[in-house]
Structure 1
Amino acid sequence: MDDRNNNLDELLDYIDPASLTYQEWCGVGMALKDAGYDCSLWDVWSQRDAARYHKGECEKKWRTFAGCEHPVTAGTIVHLALENGYRPQYSKKESHALNWDDTIGEDYVVTSRKEAQDIPIPEPETWNPAQELSQYIETLFEADDFVGYVTETWKNKDGKYMPTSGCCDRTAGQLLEALSQCGEDIGAVFGDYMEAAGAWIRFNPLDGKGGKNENVTEYRFALVESDVLDIERQNGILHEMQLPIACLVYSGGKSLHAIVRVDAPNYEEYRKRVDFLYDVCDKNGLKVDRQNRNPSRLSRMPGVMRNGKKQFLVATNIGLGSWAEWKDYIDSVTDDLPEFESMAEAWENMPELSPPLIENVLRQGHKMLIAGPSKAGKSYALIEMSIAIAEGRQWLGWQCAKGRVLYVNLELDRASCLHRFRDVYQAMELPAANLQSIDIWNLRGVTEPMDRLAPKLIRRAKKKQYIAVIIDPIYKVITGDENSADQMAHFCNQFDKVCTQLGCAVIYCHHHSKGAQGGKRSMDRASGSGVFARDPDALLDLTELELSEDIRKQETNTAICDACVEQLRRHAPAVLADASPDALLSHVEALKLCQDNLPPAVYEAFLSEIETIKRTARQRTAWRLDGTLREFPKFEPKNLWFRYPVHVEDTTGVLKDLQSESEMHPYQRGNQKRGKKTKETYAAQKVDKKAALLNAFHACNLDGAVTVDDMAEYLGISRRTVERRVGEQEELTLENGSIKLAEKGK
């Protein structure tokens, strides 16, 4: 923090001179002089402490501040202001759960001494000391807890009344019983006290053998006391901080005594929690007395008089219900969330939208998920995208912004990944002009869950100026159960961190869930929790199209024609230029052109490749790409061929009328599977049924007469099925319910 950026006269508003020691007061003067301020500022500020201010003293002291090798600087004033609620404008840092050893930052401010509302504390109109004290004991103690208290005093050398060691051998149950029978004479229970001094009570249970720290049996409560501010302001800050206060007592003097629940399991933890509590109180303008941090500390006893004023119980059980709740609340103060924004203020000054990364699909700095089944070529699609972004070209028909891209490879070994990139470059027929714009992070075998990987990715990529980070695939880095919504929300938040801190888009792929996808929306097909589908700004989903035999033949024809065109381009470009378009669309005509115009040796070598071309063509798959977009209108589904190793748009429209599995009803999928059976399969089944029928006839033919019922029972089929099958063949005849061998020649 740069102290020169602080206006010290404004910081003085946060510092009460009456709360400072003489040395601290002098330190403020030295700091002001060192920073170049005039003595009059120190003098005006000092007048706020009317009890100690003496006219001319500041000016006299100011002249003695001659400077030294290690001067008191403005940092002293900043420190004092911070302790009393000043909140500087820090740059936002990543928040984290506070550890005990961490320094309490200025962000742990709920209120301040200037912002807090005063809450009056009216003196009770009807006062029942025994009843108040009973309520106090019932709130803090169990019946068998030993309670420590002090009513006797002694005077120190300054004439101040000091408490003795007091008593600690009676339980809360015994004291409550005695209070119920004493009327208003609590002296009969606790012993008489001096009204000039008041009386005290310990707020943690003891072992009955003494009132020291080692005698405390449970570390339930801590004392928060501050006498710097007005009582009403103290009360306001205590309420606004939501402290888990079990009992709030007016001391009869300048302070409130807040008995705060800390519920520590042991003494060491108690000290840590009390230190944390006091630090947070200081940051919120309630400068506490740190001498009260011991668990055996005495606090003011309600129900007694002190110098003509009542020590009374102000409230019980206010604020949050437990230490754990309050700790969560105070940690949440540093959530780093933005402030509310008025639409009226933004209306005439709208921020610019992030430019598109993929035209009409995804903006820079946003997230995209590509989902699909196994063997859809998702990794190849992401490699195609990487190349399109690096070269500023189209990807599946969409224009991509040109920039640097990081491809995080989690699945392939390094050699396979690099070869894939080169193969895809060549298949896309693009010059490798911007290879320097593609970085690959090979993590197979060394990857980590995404919540640990994200910070390392961010650190390495911070200065690279990527416009896209592509992660392939995410199942390798999933943190937690992919079917758990809350765990997957935490997982997806890691992508937000990468987007925000690197200012780039994050694109990742995931697999479909198991089983048929028919009837599901595109956003519901990704495996695991629905968070996957609802988290990204764009979701692209691939589903396979079922190809008919005619389309496969057509695709084979196209592959052969393309190969013929390539041969003619190499060896007979003039013939290719004069060839009719129709001739180049028929593999028979295209092969005839090659036969007539290629050198014989070249043609023979080409013919040997035709079977490989046919086989490769029949292995091609067809896909429909659908999408759910947050920033752009929904696009018409795209039909794609996966012609290894790249996806190519169907420009002929041959795939347009095909249905994907997800678009089919169950009965359609069943019909389609049945439709795949070839004529040969049906012929073989017909032969099998005929043989089974003849075998059944001979097995039932004991006396030359076989009935339809005999055959039906033997085969386990219906009468009608037997009659139909007999009628479909020539060896058997059916007459009047009997089955016989057909006479030869008929």
Structure 2
Amino acid sequence: MENKLDLIELLAYVDPAALDYQEWVNVGMALKHEGYTASDWDQWSESDSRYRAGECFKKWTSFEGNGSPVTGATITQMAKDNGWQPRSQREDHELDWNDEISGDYVVIDKNWIEGKEIKEPSAWNPVRELTRYLEALFESTENVGYVTETYEVTDDKTGEIVHKPTKGASDRTAGKLIELLSQSNGDIGSVLGDYNEKAGAWIRFNPLDGNGVKNDNVTEFRYALVESDGMEIEKQNAVLRELELPIACLVHSGKRSLHAIVRVDAADYPEYRKRVDYLYDVCKKNGFIVDSQNRNPSRLSRMPGIERNGKKQFIVDTNIGKANWEEWNEWIEGINDDLPDPESLTDFWNDMPEKAPPLIHGLLRQGHKMLMAGPSKAGKSFALIELSIALAEGRKWLSWDCTRGKILYVNLELDRASCLHRFKDVYTALGWPPDNLSNIDIWNLRGKSVPMDKLAPKLIRRAQKSNYIAVIIDPIYKVLTGDENSADQMAHFTNQFDKICTELGSSVIYCHHHSKGSQGNKKSMDRASGSGVFARDPDALIDLVELELTDSLMKQEEGKAMCAVYQKYMETHNFNYLDEHVSQDDLLSVTSMVDHAKRSIPDYMDAANKEADAAVQKVRIRSAWRVEGTLREYPKFEAVNMWFDYPVHVVDETGGLKDIEPEGEGPAWKKNFDKKKSNKDRKEEQKEALETAYEACSIDENVTVDALAEFMGVTDKTVRNRIKTHGGFWVDDGQVGRK
């Protein structure tokens, strides 16, 4: 049956020797559940040194099944973990979503490769075999490690006697060994010592310092060992050659595997590890099941010129594939080159392709990237939530119209409940009916976030069928990898956003923080913290900078708020009076509006006064911001001034903020003067800041230390210290209240 063929084929990717006992049993249970025979399990298990005849059949009869059976999916996952891919993915070079998005490096399909025959040497010359090996891998002055002595241990699982190699010797150079071998009359044992013919002998493929046989004793990280026990040896030979690995020497182990000594030419141990990981990854993706225990540079490999159990350990070939690591690496990187060919402009001059439709009109196109930068008090998260809602509802965000569609909001910072409440609070504050809630998906990843290069494929896999027009990631510092001041590392980081845009066809919108210090005298594209890549990479850069409010403006705003309250009460309870007696000038005068209110709505005066006081307090806790930007697809826009009236941003339609300077943009004498504040003034400012933050956060009813810290842009510890100094608040298990 077709299913049976599939699972037996998958088992070629699973090495029984690499599994523990329970994993091995799970394979048997899965095979039985899917209708296979005990012989199938037994034949696959034979390649494991722990194999005992009859054990599979004995176990098979005990697999009776239960409510949660082990199915063929277990084998499928094991095969995937070792490089197997469904045929559709192999043919189309699509990504396996459990891998990083970094290229498939798929060169071959081992299922379509015929095995390449291996011939034993026609004239057996042990000395010549070993001499060829030494000449191929070592300089004459380099020390060589080798082992001929063994000791016996009993395998705990199988009860069999196993021969293990000792540390061996490393005190002689390759040149000396070659000299002694040439004088040995064919007796290798007289040079290296006699070996146990049941066990064979081993040799280390990297040169040593002569003082030991550990990784620290390796003097040149020149070679790595590639070996597999999970496929036919003739097919191993064919696959290794098809992969063009830079093999210095290929040795038959005398049993069921080939030992490929591959040139990696690493400068040091860290680079060696990276190159071996890369090498093994390429092998696995091409169906060659690598024994991952062979990673160490001081690892033992089978010595050619030796016989064990009557089978020869011999050199199959030397200098196979590419000449060196660099040449092979360049070939592998280019083999899956899916870059487009150059195009002639003449072919499209009279038939230009359509541009991507706008997502945020005048600001960002669909499938493009946008970065929002600002300091911690700017309410960037609230601005992104406002944008999410505007896109979902097809409404205006700040000064820009938005295309309606489905969005994914990736929440990396807030706990799930707080995030959901924020969306509802913002909807309520905006006064918009939630007509299109189904257009908003939220992916809550607080405490579960991973680096961006690992998150991107997981995000794409989950989002590929949802037709999102935008993916909003808040904030990026949670998934930032590398040094944010390194252009090279940040380019790799931001490339992940390109992959999301390309794979999903949606825009990626993310936020980042400002660098330290005053921002007012900087250009918008220079304010984001870290490398200039953050400014150059996005198609739209939106920057928020705080405005320094003057006393006169604040009094003006307080007056407007009070007047609006009295006007509302008169509209509700005595509209005729308002229409007949209140002029346009009166509507802007607190004194006049209070007098009119006393005459027209005396019964509601207490309530109006109370609401007016609350409106003034709300004005006092507002902050003012200017939105500037740098765009790639659209002309530069005029700066947008707005208030952050927790929890939403409100555009300043009256122009009151137009002439206000950003923080830090005043003259030098004023900056120096402002620095000379007394301790008393600073404490008073801190006290007012705490009260302002408390009032702002009390909209959520329960005020927490975390919320205050976020609003004030300080740490939890600073908040607790200020509460203690203030004296008018209490703290209990993170909750804050007035005494």
User: Offset of 1:412 from its aligned partner?
Assistant: 3.1
Partner of 1:304: none
Partner of 1:541: 543
Amino acid at match of 1:659: E
Give me the whole-angstrom Cα distance separating, in 2, the residues matched to 1:492 and 1:357: 20
Q: 1:136/1:457 Cα in 2 relative to 1: closer, same or farther (>3 Å)?
A: closer
Do the aligned partners of 1:209 and 1:215 also contact (CA within 8 Å) in 2?
no
Amino acid at match of 1:614: V
User: Offset of 1:383 from its aligned partner?
Assistant: 1.7
Matched, 1:217 2:203: yes
Deviations 1:296-349 (A, max 9, x none): 545799xxxxxxxxxxxxxx9995434xx4553344135553232223344444
Indicate the larger mover: 214-223 or 659-668. 214-223
Q: 1:362 is matched with which residue: 334, 343, 364?
A: 364
Do the aligned partners of 1:242 and 1:320 also contact (CA within 8 Å) in 2?
no
Q: 2:590 is matched with which residue: 582, 587, 591?
A: 587
Matched, 1:321 2:307: no
Give me the whole-angstrom Cα distance separating, in 1, the residues matched to 2:203 and 2:383: 67
Deviations 1:216-243 (A, max 9, x none): 63447999xxxxxxxxxxxxxx999976
Matched, 1:622 2:624: yes
Partner of 1:385: 387
Give me the whole-angstrom Cα distance separating, in 2, the residues matched to 1:411 and 1:246: 51
Give me the whole-angstrom Cα distance separating, in 1, the residues matched to 2:485 and 2:224: 44
Deviations 1:611-633 (A, max 9, x none): 22222212222111111222222
Give me the whole-angstrom Cα distance separating, in 1, the residues matched to 2:203 and 2:354: 63
Tell me the TM-score normalized by structure 1: 0.53
Q: 1:597 is matched with which residue: 590, 596, 600?
A: 600
Q: 1:651/1:674 Cα in 2 relative to 1: closer, same or farther (>3 Å)?
A: farther
Deviations 1:523-553 (A, max 9, x none): 2322333333332221111111111111111
Do the aligned partners of 1:242 and 1:326 also contact (CA within 8 Å) in 2?
no
Amino acid at match of 2:590: H
Tell me the secondary structure at the aligned position of residue 203 of structure 2: coil
Q: 1:411 is matched with which residue: 410, 413, 433?
A: 413
Give me the whole-angstrom Cα distance separating, in 2, the residues matched to 1:317 and 1:446: 45
Q: 1:497/1:222 Cα in 2 relative to 1: closer, same or farther (>3 Å)?
A: closer
Tell me the secondary structure at the aligned position of residue 456 of structure 1: helix
Matched, 1:376 2:378: yes
Do the aligned partners of 1:512 and 1:526 also contact (CA within 8 Å) in 2?
yes
Q: 2:527 is matched with which residue: 525, 528, 535?
A: 525
Partner of 1:72: none
Partner of 1:119: none
Deviations 1:170-197 (A, max 9, x none): 997589999xxxxxxxxx9999xxxxxx
CA-based RMSD: 5.4
Amino acid at match of 1:461: A
Tell me the secondary structure at the aligned position of residue 375 of structure 1: helix
Indicate the larger mover: 343-352 or 362-371. 343-352
Do the aligned partners of 1:371 and 1:540 also contact (CA within 8 Å) in 2?
yes
Q: 1:505 is matched with which residue: 498, 504, 507?
A: 507
Amino acid at match of 2:464: K
Question: What does 1:565-576 align with in structure 2 at a 5 Å threshold?
Answer: 565-576=567-578
Q: 1:636 is matched with which residue: 607, 625, 638?
A: 638
Question: What does 1:136-155 align with in structure 2 at a 5 Å threshold?
Answer: 141-143=138-140
Q: 1:472/1:141 Cα in 2 relative to 1: closer, same or farther (>3 Å)?
A: closer
Tell me the secondary structure at the aligned position of residue 377 of structure 2: coil
Deviations 1:94-131 (A, max 9, x none): 279999xx99844699xx9xxxxxxxxxxxxxxxxxxx
What percentage of aligned pairs have identical amino acids?
A: 48
Amino acid at match of 1:400: C
Deviations 1:261-289 (A, max 9, x none): 54799xxx9xx98x959x899xxxxxxxx
Q: 1:612/1:295 Cα in 2 relative to 1: closer, same or farther (>3 Å)?
A: farther
Q: 1:359/1:320 Cα in 2 relative to 1: closer, same or farther (>3 Å)?
A: farther
Q: 1:553/1:217 Cα in 2 relative to 1: closer, same or farther (>3 Å)?
A: same
**Radius of gyration: which is bigger?**
1
Tell me the secondary structure at the aligned position of residue 546 of structure 2: strand
Q: How many residues align?
A: 479
Give me the whole-angstrom Cα distance separating, in 1, the residues matched to 2:341 and 2:667: 48
Amino acid at match of 1:402: R
Partner of 2:496: 494
Indicate the larger mover: 541-550 or 448-457. 448-457
Q: 1:672/1:625 Cα in 2 relative to 1: closer, same or farther (>3 Å)?
A: farther
Do the aligned partners of 1:98 and 1:331 also contact (CA within 8 Å) in 2?
no
Partner of 1:338: 339
Tell me the secondary structure at the aligned position of residue 333 of structure 1: helix
Do the aligned partners of 2:410 and 2:474 also contact (CA within 8 Å) in 1?
yes
Do the aligned partners of 1:95 and 1:335 also contact (CA within 8 Å) in 2?
no
Q: 1:503/1:263 Cα in 2 relative to 1: closer, same or farther (>3 Å)?
A: closer
Give me the whole-angstrom Cα distance separating, in 1, the residues matched to 2:90 and 2:558: 68
Do the aligned partners of 1:222 and 1:295 also contact (CA within 8 Å) in 2?
no
Do the aligned partners of 1:97 and 1:331 also contact (CA within 8 Å) in 2?
no
Deviations 1:692-735 (A, max 9, x none): xxxxxxxxxxxxxxxxxxxxxxxxxxxxxxxxxxxxxxxxxxxx
Partner of 2:92: 91
Q: 1:260/1:356 Cα in 2 relative to 1: closer, same or farther (>3 Å)?
A: same
Do the aligned partners of 1:222 and 1:261 also contact (CA within 8 Å) in 2?
yes
Question: What does 1:416-431 align with in structure 2 at a 5 Å threshold?
Answer: 416-431=418-433
Question: What does 1:115-514 align with in structure 2 at a 5 Å threshold?
Answer: 141-143=138-140, 173=175, 207=192, 214-215=200-201, 217-219=203-205, 244=246, 261-262=262-263, 297=314, 319-322=322-325, 325=326, 328-344=329-345, 345-514=347-516
Amino acid at match of 1:385: L
Give me the whole-angstrom Cα distance separating, in 1, the residues matched to 2:315 and 2:447: 61
Do the aligned partners of 2:483 and 2:490 also contact (CA within 8 Å) in 1?
yes
Do the aligned partners of 1:424 and 1:646 also contact (CA within 8 Å) in 2?
yes
User: Offset of 1:355 from its aligned partner?
Assistant: 1.0
Do the aligned partners of 1:409 and 1:417 also contact (CA within 8 Å) in 2?
yes
- Where do 5+ consecutive residues of structure 1 fail to align? 1-86, 113-133, 147-169, 179-187, 192-201, 224-237, 249-258, 282-290, 302-315, 682-746
- Where do 5+ consecutive residues of structure 2 fail to align? 1-87, 114-130, 145-171, 207-222, 226-239, 251-259, 266-271, 289-303, 306-310, 684-739
Tell me the TM-score normalized by structure 2: 0.53
Amino acid at match of 1:615: Q
Deviations 1:347-374 (A, max 9, x none): 4443322111111111111221111112
Indicate the larger mover: 644-653 or 358-367. 644-653
Give me the whole-angstrom Cα distance separating, in 1, the residues matched to 2:651 and 2:611: 25
Give me the whole-angstrom Cα distance separating, in 2, the residues matched to 1:455 and 1:608: 55
Tell me the secondary structure at the aligned position of residue 357 of structure 1: strand
